[in-house]
């Protein structure tokens, strides 16, 4: 027959077991979250934030368990926690929304740091992703900080393009031309400019007609970049050279 442990000692034993289990659980969860953050390449502050939240939840669970083991009512503790949670929720709804949105962006990864993106009319290179804000470097060399909650409400264009094992960025833009030149001569001017960019870019630029209208033809051009910052400089020069080649071809055909 198993001897019965006296009440005070059994309570002390349950308290000790609760504390030990909470300590072990905290270490296991913290280690898992740190490895998860490293695999996902999350910023250090994000990984630390996840560990802090997990520790807080484990401590709250352990305290509630200790109250029950000690025979104390947990109603007042639950009431205070609910009241405190409501107060924090009302005072920081926007911050909490940004926090959750930031976690979603970091985990789902619709874009990464150094990606070239277009979000809500803001175009540029993602320089930093934090819990509250995403910072984007624009072609004008200014940094725009966008709230993560706003980002999730917008359409996100990511120009990242996978080509085999290499990661490139495909930047596309549309131009329109009138019918003053036949199609073969017009596209020949494109090819002349593209030939000059074959060595400057990791992949040969491409183009294709997208619309044929009564007064004009629309072409989409595709430029491939290894370094997204090159989009700031090479795309405008390519556009300028295409325009100049077009003007020159028109002038020569009319003379």
Long-range contacts at 31-40 (CB < 8 A, ≥ 24 apart): 40/106, 40/107, 40/109
Contact assessment for residue 61 and residue 53, using Cβ atoms and an 8 Å cutoff:
no
pLDDT for residue 133:
85
- The tokens of 165 are what? 């094992």
pLDDT for residue 90:
45
Structural domain boundaries of the chain? Answer: 7-91, 110-158, 161-254
CA distance 142 to 171: 20
Q: What DSSP assignment string belongs to 105-150?
A: HHHH-SS-TT-EEEETTEEEEEEEE-SSEEEEE-TTS-EEEEEHHH
- The tokens of 42 are what? 């999350």
pLDDT for residue 43:
63
Tally the residues of the chain: 255
Fold match, 7-91 / 110-158: no
CA distance 107 to 94: 20
pLDDT for residue 145:
92
Helices (H) and strands (E) in the chain, counts: 7, 9
Looking up tokens 């898992």 gives: 32
**For residue 145, which of 155, 134, 137 has the smallest C-alpha distance?**
134
pLDDT for residue 1:
46
Integer distance in angstroms from the first to the last C-alpha of the chain? 114
**For residue 146, which of 90, 92, 93, 102 has the smallest C-alpha distance?**
102
**For residue 185, which of 224, 217, 222 has the smallest C-alpha distance?**
217
Contact assessment for residue 223 and residue 205, using Cβ atoms and an 8 Å cutoff:
yes
pTM over 0.75: no
pLDDT by residue for the chain (255 residues), tens only, comes to: 445 545 566 777 777 888 888 888 888 888 888 788 777 766 665 666 677 677 778 887 777 777 776 655 555 555 555 545 554 554 455 666 777 777 778 777 888 889 999 998 899 999 988 778 899 999 999 999 998 888 988 889 999 987 666 789 999 999 999 999 999 999 999 999 999 999 899 999 999 999 999 899 999 999 999 999 999 999 999 999 999 999 999 988 776
Fold of 7-91: Helix Hairpins (1.10.287)
Cα atoms in the 13 Å half-sphere on the side-chain side of 117 = 24
pLDDT for residue 87:
46
- The tokens of 239 are what? 């556009």
Fold of 110-158: SH3 type barrels. (2.30.30)
Domain 161-254 matching CATH 3.30.300.330: the answer reads yes
pLDDT for residue 82:
57
- For helices 93-108 and 44-69, give the axis angle rounded to 10 degrees: 120
């Amino acid at each position: 027959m198993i001897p019965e442990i006296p009440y005070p000692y059994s309570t002390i034993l349950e308290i000790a077991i609760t504390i030990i289990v909470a300590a072990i659980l905290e270490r296991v969860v913290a280690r898992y979250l740190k490895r998860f953050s490293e695999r996902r390449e999350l910023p250090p502050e994000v990984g630390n934030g996840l560990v802090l939240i997990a520790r807080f939840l484990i401590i709250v669970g352990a305290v509630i368990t200790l109250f029950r083991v000690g025979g104390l009512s947990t109603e007042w503790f639950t009431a205070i926690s609910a009241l405190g949670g409501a107060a924090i929720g009302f005072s920081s709804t926007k911050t909490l929304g940004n926090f959750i949105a930031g976690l979603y962006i970091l985990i789902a990864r619709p874009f990464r740091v150094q990606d070239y993106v277009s979000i809500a009319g803001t175009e540029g290179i993602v320089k930093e992703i934090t819990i509250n804000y995403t910072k984007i470097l624009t072609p004008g060399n200014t940094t725009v900080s966008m709230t993560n909650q706003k980002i999730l409400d917008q359409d996100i264009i990511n120009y990242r393009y996978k080509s085999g094992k290499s990661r490139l960025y495909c930047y596309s833009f549309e131009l329109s031309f009138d019918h003053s030149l036949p199609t073969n001569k017009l596209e020949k001017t494109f090819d002349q400019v593209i030939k000059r960019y074959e060595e400057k870019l990791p992949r040969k630029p491409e183009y294709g007609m997208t619309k044929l209208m009564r007064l004009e033809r629309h072409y989409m051009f595709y430029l491939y970049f290894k370094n997204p910052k090159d989009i700031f400089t090479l795309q405008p020069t390519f556009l300028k050279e295409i325009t100049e080649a077009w003007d020159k071809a028109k002038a020569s055909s009319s003379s």
